[in-house]
Structure 1
Amino acid sequence: MESFPVPSLPEELLAEIFLRAPSLEDLARISMANNYCHDIISDPYFVRCVPLHRYPSFFLGFFTRDGFKPVQPPHPSASISNLLLTASDLSFSFLPFPGSWIVQDICDGRALLSRSHGSKGDQESIFMHLAVCDPLSRRYVLLPPLPDDLYTYVQDLCHNGFNYRCETFLVPRGECVVAETSFKVIWMARGHKKLLVLIFSSVVGKWHAVTSLDGQCIGKVISFSRRVHSRRSYAYGCFYWKMGEARKVLALDTRKMEFFFSNSPLGYLEYDCAVVEAGEGRLGIFALFHHMTGTRLHLYCTTKKKEAWSTDEWCLEKTIQLPPTAHDYRIMCATNGYLFMQYTQGSSYPSSKYGYILMGVKTFLFERFYETNRPSSFPTPYFGFPPSLSPPSI
């Protein structure tokens, strides 16, 4: 490490100055100035004080059923992704029954995983075994089974909700947290005209039902006739799902834990979409529009801020023509200020190649980061910080 003169300031004052660095890149450059600065910044107490919520996280790769796929050079995060591979256990071999877990979600440095050994239709299969872990610190929490009163509702869904679909995911930390290591998990199952939603809080340490559309307990299984089509999105404290046939969006407010429906501006052919934070408190919806002249990306925005927005008041704000060198574009998800998309190059298998790109939802800039010969059905993106600046999340 090249040495620069040691500043003649107390260590405590230097730490306060370093904490006000404009970016994490600046903080990294300061740590390389000399050993004295490096020791201050790498100290565990300093790391805990770094206001990571002020900085944008780095896209480091994504999980598939085949494991973790790091970003490839020349992507700017490739070096940090390599550090992550060295410092963490992304195969989750520290969990009980290693090799049997599937990544369901990644959020705030935590991974939500599931495994099941039951036959389809029983409670163990539909509910699964769940674990939340920190791959950097190797800490984990095995979530408890359902209490008897909630097990009855799961049993009812198994017996009467044929062709059910389960979805488990983490609730983003947000602004109001009890502790940096606290977390919430949502488990949702959709059967034939039925919806069952449960939530686990690490603070309380148990599962409970949340509130339904009509104010009654969703644990009683509400009527759910509309088919959910899109993968979930998250914006301004709410999860969103586009309904299949109707021009409706189902939303879950994670602060009140209440569901509501709102209108959607999307046309019949705009079925592949994602809800985003469009800036200035407005909601946005990106939607793919496939046409004989190529694939376009439409951005619709609300005309009011989120505190008082009406979903009847949408406007088409931007149209983006996607590169014609690829085809079969798909929106995989929207997270951390990016739209995550998959595309295909080539006209026939096995000569086709599949690539993945990120697009900033505010900058509209594209970043290609991975190419493969095998597509991934449900990739889960991993955003994080350099390992040296990542305190334990469990």
Structure 2
Amino acid sequence: MASAVRPARRRLEAISSPGQLQALTDDLLEEIFLRIGSPADLVRASAARSCFRRIITDPAFLSRYRSLHPLQLLGFLEGELDGSLSPAPPVSEGTRWRLRDVREGRVLFECSSLVHYDYDNFASIPNLAVCDPLTRRYLLLPRIPDDLLASVQLQDIFEFETLLVPTRDNQSSTSFKVMRKIVCRTKMVIFVFSSGPGRWNAVKSISWDALNVRLQGQMLQYAYGCFYWKIDRMNKLLKLDINRMEFSTDDLPPDHARRNIVIAEAAEGRLGMFSLIHGGTSVHYSTSVRNEDKRNSEWQMESIIPLPHNYDNYYFKETGIE
């Protein structure tokens, strides 16, 4: 057995000689390392040579690796937190930290009023914190500066919505963005906080008249780099491309004006949609097919899912695995 091992070891040493390693480009080595399924093995490879470590520790590589080999970890958080998990003491009396979004291993909290917001007062815009639930480390976000709020001429505010923005593949795993949507009677304004520079920017303002829609009704959905809102009492989706920060609308089937829907990622880049039939008797699953002009989508019914007859309340919302 000993004689059989020595030739194999010599061949391995010959393959890993410095001369032959130089023939492997960084791009090729990166593709090889991406195929290492065990994080422990990846650490061992990083320790083998300095050139390996330089590639493996690059934030862009780590982001790609984690997207291909996500950690199998599932956690549950309630909408309201007790004192042991709160990012900080409540900002003022009558407020509480509440869960607002979970994405890519981060949790977004909002310190909001227990009763109601004073929408006419910028100081009442809720404070925010981003948390790593495993380490319990928190970052309290700065407030949107008053001069930035004043520059977009906010009037008749009646809704805030805040969420974590999905990161791109080439972004560092340590950076993140938070989007705050402020809805007024006549328009919607999008503010984005970037963890790198640590500041807010007003990135988009658009009027409801320009979109030719009424106010959106349902909570947002996410698929393929875009956020979607169902327009209340209309057969339309409001779409925000988060890479271009551009708004557009997509048509829904004619009978969806009053339906509750969930948008999901289907196969081959298509959108999937689950729609709850009025009365809660069934859920229809459809997928989108792009028209030849590429400006809108047609929806094709895929299946009908019957619901139990002895229930009259259903929780119908988007979810995901991080």
Give the AA of the match of 2:108. L
- Percentage of identical aligned residues: 35
- Is 1:104 aligned with 2:97? no
Match for residue 151 of structure 1?
149
Max Rg structure: 2
Q: Deviation string for 1:266-300 (max 9, x for gaps)?
A: 51465210111111011121111135xx6211122
Using structure 1 for the length normalisation, give the TM-score. Answer: 0.59
CA–CA distance in structure 2, aligned partners of residues 243 and 105 of structure 1: 21
Give the AA of the match of 1:165. E
SS in 2 for 1:210: strand
Match for residue 111 of structure 2?
115
Q: 1:308 to 1:54 in 2, by over 3 A?
A: farther
SS in 1 for 2:259: coil
Cα RMSD (Å) of the superposition? 3.7
Post-superposition offset of 1:171: 0.4
Kindly indicate whether the alpha-carbon contact (under 8 Å) linking 2:281 and 2:307 is maintained by their aligned counterparts in 1. Answer: yes
Give the AA of the match of 1:314. W
Q: How does 1:3-82 map to 2 (within 5 A)?
A: 20=35, 27=38, 51-55=65-69, 58=72, 60-67=74-81
CA–CA distance in structure 2, aligned partners of residues 328 and 269 of structure 1: 20
Q: 1:296 to 1:58 in 2, by over 3 A?
A: farther
4+ residue runs over 4 A deviation: 16-19, 45-50, 56-59, 96-99, 116-119, 307-310
Post-superposition offset of 1:105: 0.8
Give the AA of the match of 1:320. I
CA–CA distance in structure 1, aligned partners of residues 221 and 288 of structure 2: 16
2:286 paired residue among 292, 300, 322: 300
Match for residue 363 of structure 1?
none
Q: How does 1:330-345 map to 2 (within 5 A)?
A: 330-333=315-318, 335-336=319-320
Q: Which shifted more, 105-114 or 320-329? A: 320-329
Post-superposition offset of 1:161: 1.2
Post-superposition offset of 1:170: 0.5
1:321 paired residue among 291, 300, 306: 306
Post-superposition offset of 1:189: 1.6
Q: 1:93 to 1:130 in 2, by over 3 A?
A: closer
Kindly indicate whether the alpha-carbon contact (under 8 Å) linking 1:270 and 1:289 is maintained by their aligned counterparts in 2. Answer: no
Kindly indicate whether the alpha-carbon contact (under 8 Å) linking 2:260 and 2:275 is maintained by their aligned counterparts in 1. Answer: yes
Q: 1:91 to 1:321 in 2, by over 3 A?
A: farther
Post-superposition offset of 1:258: 1.3
Match for residue 281 of structure 1?
269
CA–CA distance in structure 1, aligned partners of residues 71 and 278 of structure 2: 32
Post-superposition offset of 1:197: 1.5
SS in 2 for 1:302: strand
Q: 1:322 to 1:262 in 2, by over 3 A?
A: same
Structure 2 residue runs without a partner (length 5+): 1-8, 17-30, 48-52
Post-superposition offset of 1:53: 0.7
Kindly indicate whether the alpha-carbon contact (under 8 Å) linking 1:296 and 1:322 is maintained by their aligned counterparts in 2. Answer: yes
Q: 1:269 to 1:223 in 2, by over 3 A?
A: closer
Give the AA of the match of 2:156. G
Q: 1:266 to 1:202 in 2, by over 3 A?
A: farther
Kindly indicate whether the alpha-carbon contact (under 8 Å) linking 2:98 and 2:112 is maintained by their aligned counterparts in 1. Answer: no
Q: 1:319 to 1:186 in 2, by over 3 A?
A: same
CA–CA distance in structure 2, aligned partners of residues 137 and 40 of structure 1: 24
Q: 1:150 to 1:287 in 2, by over 3 A?
A: same
Using structure 2 for the length normalisation, give the TM-score. Answer: 0.71
Q: How does 1:74-223 map to 2 (within 5 A)?
A: 91-93=84-86, 95=88, 97=90, 100-116=96-112, 120=118, 121-125=120-124, 127-152=125-150, 156-157=153-154, 160-161=155-156, 164-177=158-171, 179-211=172-204, 218=205, 222-223=207-208
Q: 1:193 to 1:244 in 2, by over 3 A?
A: same
Post-superposition offset of 1:323: 3.3
SS in 1 for 2:317: strand
CA–CA distance in structure 2, aligned partners of residues 326 and 148 of structure 1: 48
Kindly indicate whether the alpha-carbon contact (under 8 Å) linking 1:183 and 1:202 is maintained by their aligned counterparts in 2. Answer: yes
Q: Which shifted more, 322-331 or 56-65? A: 56-65
Match for residue 24 of structure 2?
none
SS in 1 for 2:244: coil
CA–CA distance in structure 2, aligned partners of residues 52 and 136 of structure 1: 17
CA–CA distance in structure 1, aligned partners of residues 218 and 117 of structure 2: 27
SS in 1 for 2:148: helix
Post-superposition offset of 1:242: 0.6
Post-superposition offset of 1:325: 4.4
CA–CA distance in structure 1, aligned partners of residues 313 and 89 of structure 2: 39
Q: Deviation string for 1:38-80 (max 9, x for gaps)?
A: x969x9x999959221145657344333449xxxxxxxxxxxx
Match for residue 235 of structure 2?
247
Give the AA of the match of 1:252. L
Post-superposition offset of 1:228: 1.3
CA–CA distance in structure 2, aligned partners of residues 276 and 232 of structure 1: 12
Q: 1:260 to 1:268 in 2, by over 3 A?
A: closer
